[in-house]
Structure 1
Amino acid sequence: MIVKWLDFSDLHFEYTNVDTVNIRDNLLSTISDKELDADFILMCGDFFYQGKTDESRIKACGDYIHKIISSAGCDKSSVYMTPGNHDLVRSNERNHLLSYYTNINYETGKKKTEVEHELDANAFKNLNNGSPDSFLGYAKLYKKITGKVFKGNHECIEKDSYRILNINTSILAGSAYDEGNLSVYCGPLLEECKKIKNDDKINIAFMHHGVEFLKKTERRKFEQLMESHYIDIVFSGHSHDIGIRTYDHTGNRMRQFTCGGPLKDGYNKPSFYYCIYDSDTHELKCYLYTYNDEIQDWNLANTERAFKDGKCSFILPRFQKKSKYFDTTRDRELDGRKNLQDDYLKQFGIVAALPLKEFIRKRNVMIQNAKGNIILAGQSLENAFDIREDNESIVNSIKHNKNIKNIDIFLTDPIMFDSATEVEVGDTPISRIGTTMHTILYDIYKELEKDQSINIYFIPLVQLDHMVFVDDE
């Protein structure tokens, strides 16, 4: 079965400059002309701007969304909306309520010393209804589009061929201190996650804020909650940017897709996604459409590396071991990559590289028994320096071996292997070095003894991948 959908975010209907109006009009014709028909539509919040939700704006925004629905040949019952931080009215009364759950003094932006209160069912009732008019305008738009009453809760919706997990990240939004203080990891979300099954249906989560805007202490928990409850892909907005973020704390490297809004301002990247999922092959194709200012038209993106010819396609990780189609296109690319690497090894007189599992086992034994100096080399060493306690991580081996006196880490330039990472949807080693650096600086360095040292080198044009050297006694 084929399932198709459109994903939008950040309409911000307050914007009425001529470029924005043109972008919106062209969007409607693009959907129709390119026959981007959809079984459902995701809308990731920020329909309004700064809480300005008077009746005229609600009508204008609602009329435009209905035009999108009509252009895509979709039923309004299959439109899924979630609020953004600009969709609620900000007030001192709301800040007072927020403070009860966040412990933030919204006059100073500083944390209070009191214990934070849990986001339980009563919290959602208080934050949605206890602060008059907070979501009133958005609730009217929601009713106008879906015909349903907006409750503001996290919600799992199940259909014949898919499930949607609607996550309200704006429940604690509405201040100048939202970033890094938002929270969704709570009992009500867990209860909705329990409704998701590990079957052939695609499981999609969508929300306004990406995981990077949640509290630091919550990001890992949220990512792993999504993986544990069989979510296949996440869509978000808010940043007005285009990107694919990999959930580094998941074993299947879950992806979060973010797009901008159909408007023109100083930093927004006008964009939307058109996705096609084949439940027989479990392949998902995500087409990124962006607006070209020069020709004033929407086209498949040709400037985003993660989207080759405007398309990012992959077998959903949850099905990779099951799918008979998984070994076709990907393995052909990997075979070509292996031949290239074999030729490269022969140039240096290396007979063969160890299989990954064998290399990991030997590497861990070498590090645990090492004395004196040790050298680690790799493109990003992200898995090696993952703080999760799995067999790929070397963090604990390094921290517990006090016989190691000096650690040299070579983060090598991935020119040789970089083309191969296009298989991983543009998630390149360069983009993952940050994880390694964070672990070294904040988890390993503080555990070093006075007689231990660590050095990090960025070496251009050196083509080494996954190597470890220890003193030979």
Structure 2
Amino acid sequence: MQLTDIHFHNDNYNTLKMRTELIKYVVELRKDGEIDFLLITGDIANKGGPYNYEVKKFLNDIVSAINITKKDVHLIPGNHDLKRDEIRTLVIDSILRDPSPSDKLDKLQDETYQTLINAQSDFFTFYKEFLGIDYPSEKLHFIKSSDKYNILSINTCLISDKSGEEGNLLIGKRRFYESIQELSAKKDEKKLNIAIGHHTLGCIEYGERKTIQANFDDGDIDLYISGHVHDPSHNITINTSDNPFIELTSGAIFSDEYAVPGFVIVDINLDNGDATACYHIWNTSDDYWSVNNQVSRRTKHGKLEFKLERLSKEIELKIDEDNLSIDNEEIDENEFKQFIIDFHEKLDFEGPTRSNLDNKVELDNKFYNMKCSATFQKRFDRFSRYFGTIYSIMESTAYVSSEKKDLIADIIIDKYLEYHNKYDNGDEIFNCIIDQIIQENENLFPYSKLVTKKYVKILTAWSIYECDIFNEDKRCVEQ
């Protein structure tokens, strides 16, 4: 669950009523399923106001209604959670006037940097009082983890200072990169990765925004969740890779003539990457909470449905890894030789072969351009141990006649040409080639399906190494 832009010192009737009813509404929502953790994405205070007893009580009541502990609460500052002063404004103006403001910010002396960060000192004190732990201000951006997820908290308010600054905000690329590196070290943990910030990505200066997006891709960030604009929205775009990137923005927890009061709950199936975001809205005319089906056309049924491709692919990868034991088994080389001979003899033959057995493209380039996974490359290495057995057949006419000896390679090349445009990575193309060859020829051989599949995999891997296939560049994007 995400709450954002509470602006607690707003105390008009609609706001007070909405917050009281929110506690009851959350208890009702839990009947449909437990909420695992809470994200609070800034602007708890209003215009630098104090964090009084009432705001702490409200947030504690929310935590109790959700029925989680404070370790499952993730909290970041917003631009209203800082105090502004003249010296800080002068420092920010100096940074933004620099020909390279992003580099200027990264190179600030400690004392000058502290002038910027001290504006959030009241928030840091509140953070410690509310969560019982220190905010790691020396890091600025940081990772908190559980057994199922990692949260990357991004402090987007370092140089926030005045109205109209959206599109020019800087986050400090060096400190941000340090946090992404910390997350990258957790890549093998197979967890959900969420980044949170107060500002939407569109509020960040263009160059730093591109840096953020590239590192989100490299760090396997699945979602970016933000607030600030007081209006719920979603953005599903192609980031720096081919996978859609999801950005969710919630409404506010106060009511005025501009804000859309609301929050969002995201439900993610870690087994297959299926996800839904359900937006909720406060009806200001009749005083009740309900599902918001007017965020966009995609939410007209009350939920935004999407898929986290990385989690989906990880499941496919796990399935592949479960089958690695089959590929790891030693093969009977004499049986494999006989399989190759039988394959040549039993296949239909229609004239001279056309395969090019003089391929010059390096394997690393093939794997990179075809976006092959690391697991695929490891399996390829295991298959390559048996290439010598194939050569012993291909380089002699004692087993297979000279006019037929390239026939298998021809068939694999034909299958590759048939399917390489239908999939966006080498793993899927390889598996499709195998499945189609087996499907069309499984009745030809007296071997088990598993053995046949393994032998065809080895022959296909050899064809990738030896022939003119897997040379396309799946990383190219049409302009």
> Normalising TM by the smaller chain, what interval?
0.5 to 0.7
| Structure 2 Cα separation of the partners of residues 78 and 221 of structure 1 | 28
1:101 aligns with 95
2:340 aligns with none
Instruction: Give 1:289 shift.
Output: 1.1
Task: Please show how residues 305-316 of structure 1 align to structure 2 within 5 Å.
Answer: 305-316=297-308
Secondary structure at the aligned position of 2:187 is classed as: coil
Residue 136 of structure 1 pairs with residue 221 of structure 2: no
Instruction: Give 1:222 shift.
Output: 1.5
8 Å Cα contact 2:273-2:309 kept in structure 1 = no
Aligned with 1:162 (options 149, 171, 174): 149
| Structure 1 Cα separation of the partners of residues 273 and 39 of structure 2 | 20
Instruction: Give 1:93 shift.
Output: 1.4
Residue identity matched to 2:45: F
2:79 aligns with 85
Aligned with 1:291 (options 277, 282, 286): 282
Gaps of 5+ in 1: 1-5, 104-111, 326-353, 361-388, 395-473
8 Å Cα contact 1:278-1:284 kept in structure 2 = yes
8 Å Cα contact 1:142-1:149 kept in structure 2 = yes
Q: Note closer, same or farther for the CA distance 1:16–1:244 as it changes in structure 2 (3 Å cut).
A: same
Residue 189 of structure 1 pairs with residue 176 of structure 2: yes
Residue identity matched to 2:16: V
Q: Give the TM-score taking structure 1 as reference length.
A: 0.62
Matched length: 321
Aligned with 2:37 (options 35, 40, 47): 40
Aligned with 1:25 (options 17, 20, 29): 20
Give CA deviations for 1:146-185 in whole Å, capped at 9, x if unaligned.
Answer: 1122233100112111000000000111223421111125
8 Å Cα contact 1:290-1:300 kept in structure 2 = yes
Give CA deviations for 1:5-45 in whole Å, capped at 9, x if unaligned.
Answer: x1110000110000000111111110012216422110010
Give CA deviations for 1:340-385 in whole Å, capped at 9, x if unaligned.
Answer: xxxxxxxxxxxxxx9994899xxxxxxxxxxxxxxxxxxxxxxxxx
1:424 aligns with none
Task: Tell me whether 80-89 or 29-38 shows the greater mean CA deviation.
Answer: 29-38
Aligned with 1:148 (options 121, 129, 133): 133
| Higher relative strand content | 1
Residue identity matched to 2:187: N
Give CA deviations for 1:384-413 in whole Å, capped at 9, x if unaligned.
Answer: xxxxx953323xxxxxxxxxxxxxxxxxxx
| Structure 2 Cα separation of the partners of residues 131 and 276 of structure 1 | 37
Secondary structure at the aligned position of 1:291 is classed as: strand
Instruction: Give 1:209 shift.
Output: 0.4
Q: Note closer, same or farther for the CA distance 1:300–1:227 as it changes in structure 2 (3 Å cut).
A: same
Q: Give the TM-score taking structure 2 as reference length.
A: 0.62
Residue 69 of structure 1 pairs with residue 63 of structure 2: yes
Instruction: Give 1:278 shift.
Output: 2.2
| Structure 1 Cα separation of the partners of residues 4 and 282 of structure 2 | 14
1:14 aligns with 9
Secondary structure at the aligned position of 2:235 is classed as: strand
RMSD of aligned C-alpha atoms?
2.8
Instruction: Give 1:207 shift.
Output: 0.3
2:267 aligns with 276
Task: Please show how residues 42-441 of structure 1 align to structure 2 within 5 Å.
Answer: 42-53=39-50, 57-103=51-97, 117-120=103-106, 126-127=112-113, 129-130=114-115, 134-152=119-137, 153-184=140-171, 186-196=173-183, 197-199=186-188, 200-251=190-241, 252-304=243-295, 305-323=297-315, 357=421, 391-394=476-479
| Structure 2 Cα separation of the partners of residues 322 and 50 of structure 1 | 44
| Higher relative helix content | 2
8 Å Cα contact 1:235-1:256 kept in structure 2 = yes
Task: Tell me whether 185-194 or 78-87 shows the greater mean CA deviation.
Answer: 185-194
Gaps of 5+ in 2: 318-417, 425-473
Task: Please show how residues 447-458 of structure 1 align to structure 2 within 5 Å.
Answer: none
Instruction: Give 1:136 shift.
Output: 2.7
Which entry has the higher C-alpha Rg, 1 or 2? 2
Q: Note closer, same or farther for the CA distance 1:283–1:131 as it changes in structure 2 (3 Å cut).
A: closer
Task: Tell me whether 150-159 or 62-71 shows the greater mean CA deviation.
Answer: 150-159
